[in-house]
Amino acid sequence: MARGGGEWTGGITGGGVLSYKRITLLVCFFNILIALFVLRFLYASSLHIYPNNENVVKYTADEIRKMEESIRIRRSKESVELVKLVKKLKHDVDTAESNTELSPNVKHKLVDEILQRLKSLEEKSNVTQLREAVEMWRSEKLKETKELIQGQNGANSTNILEEAGMLIRALELEWDVLSEEIGFWLPAEVKNEEHDDKPEGEEEPEEILAGRPVPAVCNAELHTDYGGAAVRWGLTHHKESAADCCQACLDQAKRAKPGETRCNIWVYCPSEFGCFSPDIYEHKHQECWLKYAEKPKQNFKDRYSESYRNNHPKAPTIVPWVSGVVTA
């Protein structure tokens, strides 16, 4: 039975008495034993998962000998001279790159010389002439600098020789880079070349307009655009053929009442891809413009000029319109 003195009586030790403190110590001791056992188990597992680097791979003496032999053979096959040459070239390139920067004074002098050369040209010089003048200056500058180096051989002028060498390298091998650094730029010249593959002596084939033949009274002119005051806008006035457009002009002139404007010019677009005009509208196939002018005058004939095409990049080479001047 339990007593107030904190003791317990039982038959564990044959009538002996065990206190609560002793039981607690026994439980703690038992828990410590279990914890030590668990720690030992975990430690053994970690050794198995993460083994010592020294125990990862063990080579035999024969394997080590074979590896050493392989290394020796690989080194013997290595091109020592080539490796030395590559290292020397790399060193030379690095040294050259570190010494290619021209001083600001030299760059300013180059800019002044180029501008002076360009000012000596005529005002109407084209891009090709400007480019040729600069190339001539560059050749003369190279020759002058090389002669300077030859004249300085043996003299105590290391800085001059280095500066001259950098200038030769920049003018000869790195001209594009130098041009960009000094701000020199010329636009590319645009050349509109027309290729004529027609055999010599062969005449141009006569162009045939779609639809019925145009009567002689219409005075049709291919690749021609006449100006004049619009009697009927072609944007909303389409005809099947140039002959029909001309007939529409003749009919309008006959039906016009006294005082009304009479058509005496017809302009037709025969191209399926539409016809160019410098205005803001899109001119489509079969447009028929009826116009009037006291003294008819051509806007364009046969070809658009090169200067016109430079100002109007969308203009074709050949004038696409067909026109005619009629008399009532």
In this structure, is residue 69 part of a structural domain? yes
In this structure, is residue 221 part of a structural domain? yes
- Do 152 and 242 fall into the same domain? no
Computed on alpha carbons and rounded to an integer, the radius of gyration of the chain in Å comes to: 50
Other beta carbons within 10 angstroms of residue 89's beta carbon come to 10
The DSSP string of 59-115 is --HHHHHHHHHHHHHHHHHS-HHHHHHHHHHHHHHHHHHHT----HHHHHHHHHHHH
- Do 255 and 288 fall into the same domain? yes
Which of 182, 197, 228 is the last residue before a domain boundary? Answer: 182
Other beta carbons within 10 angstroms of residue 167's beta carbon come to 25
- Do 226 and 315 fall into the same domain? yes
The DSSP string of 234-251 is GGG-B-SSHHHHHHHHHH
In this structure, is residue 118 part of a structural domain? yes
Question: Please, what is the angle between helix 175-182 and helix 104-119, to 10°?
Answer: 90
Structural domain harbouring 66: 62-94
User: What CA dihedral angle connects 147, 153, 157 and 161, to 10 degrees?
Assistant: 50
In this structure, is residue 283 part of a structural domain? yes
In this structure, is residue 122 part of a structural domain? yes
276-312-287 Cα angle (round to 5): 10
- The reported pLDDT for the residue numbered 3 is 42
Amino acid at 191: K
In this structure, is residue 6 part of a structural domain? no
In this structure, is residue 136 part of a structural domain? yes
The segments of the chain whose pLDDT lies below 50 read 1-17, 50, 98-99
In this structure, is residue 120 part of a structural domain? yes
Structure tokens at 185: 């730029």
- The reported pLDDT for the residue numbered 218 is 93
- Tell me how many domains the chain contains: 3
Q: Where are the alpha helices (DSSP H) in the chain?
A: 20-49, 61-77, 80-98, 104-119, 127-152, 158-172, 175-182, 242-255, 306-311
- Do 240 and 308 fall into the same domain? yes
Q: Which of 109, 164, 160 is nearest to 137 (CA)?
A: 109
- Do 301 and 320 fall into the same domain? yes
- The reported pLDDT for the residue numbered 205 is 54
Please check whether residue 254 is in contact with residue 328, taking contact to mean a CB–CB distance below 8 angstroms: yes
- Do 66 and 151 fall into the same domain? no
As a whole number of angstroms, the distance between CA 126 and CA 213 comes to: 47
0.75 exceeded by the pTM? no
Residues ≥6 apart with Cβ < 8 Å to 249: 263, 264, 265, 266, 290, 326
- Do 138 and 70 fall into the same domain? no
Sign of the torsion angle spanned by Cα atoms 198, 199, 203, 209: negative
- Do 115 and 72 fall into the same domain? no
- Do 281 and 306 fall into the same domain? yes
